């Protein structure tokens, strides 16, 4: 007997009209990104901030020295960005007043706050032609029997690596500035929220710790902790000795300096599962038993840890990793699997931190 054709559920008129609107929105999402890029390039968040945190569009035309003919067009751009949450808007008067939101606060230059990190480089890097062109080639990439990331397949270079510098020195600088902003943001907040995690720790290795920003913040908050930073020799040799942090140049796939605790903060999402297992296995060798306080702290995105916009962000970040690297973002089951494969006995998802989570992983 032939298989019965599946029944088709015919959408209602209302559902079809909503579906059309949804398709328009999804197809045009890139224009929100481009509008945001435009706002950063023009310096709109900084202009509003330095105007007391609120500006009309005519105010912006004057502050940014834009042609008066652009007034109606800038109104349309700002309306979209406000609807997207980049700015807040007060429409109660004759002229809309735009204010800095938490999102646009991260795009302001010259904020007198030690914890503020400007995220403009992240916007400009992610919306660059280098990344957009790699994403435009998804369909062709999926048809090929290759696992090389689309970015490298297209450009012949790896994002954040010296091979990219040979192709576009300015973009290489921008991308690494974006990476530093991404990795270093929120350290002080994390140390305040996670202070209990550091209780009883005497020594710590920050694996892939770059210029030591995280390690220095830890020592400032917890002066009794002896901190070591491990990174590639070419990274470490550029860092001046400060007598506070012990800097070690090396390869985390081969050796991790011994400590009571090892930190992997926003490191593992750059690597494949197999590579993560190798890194974690070296971390396990570097720490004592659980009874002696040995553990690995992993800070990274945990897909599905929060619903709504945070989940969408996590999934978008996963496709971003697919585009530019061998790595990926993982849900808790994925993390459990690589922890166990690396030889650990147990773990605990300790905290949620925006789109990220913090694990304690035990030998």
Tell me whether residue 269 is one of the annotated catalytic residues: yes
pLDDT of residue 211: 86
DSSP class of 14: H
For the four alpha carbons of 328, 329, 333 and 337, in that order, the dihedral sign comes to positive
State what percent of residues in the chain have pLDDT above 90: 77
- pLDDT band for position 283 (50/70/90)? very high
Extents of the domains making up the chain: 13-110, 124-181, 186-362
Q: What confidence score (pLDDT) does residue 106 get?
A: 94
Q: 13-110 and 186-362 share one CATH topology?
A: no
Tell me the per-residue pLDDT of 162-174, one tens digit each, with 9 for 90 and over: 888 889 999 999 9
Q: How far is CA 285 from the centre of its chain?
A: 29
Cβ atoms within 10 Å, residue 347: 18
**How many other β-carbons are positioned within 10 Å of the β-carbon of residue 14?**
8
Of 21-35, 188-202, 279-293, 314-328, which range is least confident? Answer: 188-202
Average pLDDT over residues 120-129: 96
Does the predicted TM-score (pTM) go above 0.85?
A: yes
CATH code of 186-362, in short, is 3.40.50.150
- Selected catalytic residue, list 119, 155, 269, 270: 269
8 Å CB contact between 329 and 317: yes
Tell me if 52 sits within 8 A of 94, measured CB to CB: no
Bridge partners of 90, per DSSP, are: 97
Taking the C-alpha atoms of residue 263 and residue 322, their distance in angstroms, rounded to an integer, is 24
| Fold (CATH) for 13-110 | Arc Repressor Mutant, subunit A (1.10.10)
Is residue 2 pLDDT above 60, yes or no? no
Contact between 286 and 354 under an 8 Å Cβ cutoff? The reply is no
Residues 318-323 have a mean pLDDT of: 96
DSSP for 77-98 reads: HHHHHHHTTSEEEE-SSSS-EE
Query: Hey, is 31 helix, strand or coil?
Result: helix
Across the chain, mean pLDDT equals: 92
- pLDDT level of residue 140 (50, 70, 90 thresholds): very high
């Amino acid at each position: 007997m032939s298989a019965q054709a599946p029944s088709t559920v015919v959408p209602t008129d209302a559902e079809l009209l909503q579906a059309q609107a949804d398709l328009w929105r999804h197809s045009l999402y890139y224009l929100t990104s481009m509008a945001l890029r435009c706002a950063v390039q023009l310096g709109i968040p900084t202009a509003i901030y330095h105007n007391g945190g609120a500006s009309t569009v005519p105010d912006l035309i004057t502050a940014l020295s834009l042609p008066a003919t652009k007034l109606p067009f800038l109104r349309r751009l700002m309306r979209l960005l406000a609807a997207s949450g980049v700015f807040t808007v007060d429409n109660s008067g004759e002229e809309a007043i735009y204010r800095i939101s938490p999102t646009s606060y991260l795009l302001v230059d010259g904020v007198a706050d030690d914890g503020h990190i400007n995220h403009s480089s992240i916007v400009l890097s992610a919306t660059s032609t280098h990344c957009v062109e790699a994403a435009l080639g998804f369909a062709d990439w999926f048809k090929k029997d290759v696992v090389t990331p689309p970015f490298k397949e297209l450009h012949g270079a790896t994002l954040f690596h010296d091979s990219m510098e040979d192709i576009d020195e300015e973009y290489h600088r921008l991308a690494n500035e974006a990476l530093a902003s991404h990795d270093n943001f929120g350290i002080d907040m994390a140390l305040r929220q996670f202070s209990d995690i550091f209780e009883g720790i005497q020594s710590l290795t920050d694996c892939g710790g770059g210029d030591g920003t995280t390690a220095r913040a830890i020592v400032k908050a917890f002066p009794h902790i002896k901190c070591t930073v491990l990174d590639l020799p070419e990274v470490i040799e550029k860092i001046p000795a400060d007598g506070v942090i012990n800097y070690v140049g090396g390869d985390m796939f081969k050796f991790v300096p011994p400590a009571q605790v090892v930190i992997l903060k926003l490191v593992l999402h750059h690597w494949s599962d197999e590579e993560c297992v190798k890194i974690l296995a070296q971390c396990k060798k570097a720490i004592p038993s659980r009874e002696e306080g040995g553990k690995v702290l992993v800070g990274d995105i945990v897909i599905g840890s929060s619903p709504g916009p945070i989940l969408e962000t996590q999934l978008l970040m996963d496709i971003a990793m697919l585009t530019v690297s061998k790595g990926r973002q993982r849900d808790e089951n994925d993390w459990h699997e690589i922890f166990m494969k690396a030889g650990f006995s147990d773990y605990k998802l300790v905290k949620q931190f925006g789109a990220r989570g913090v694990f304690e992983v035990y030998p």
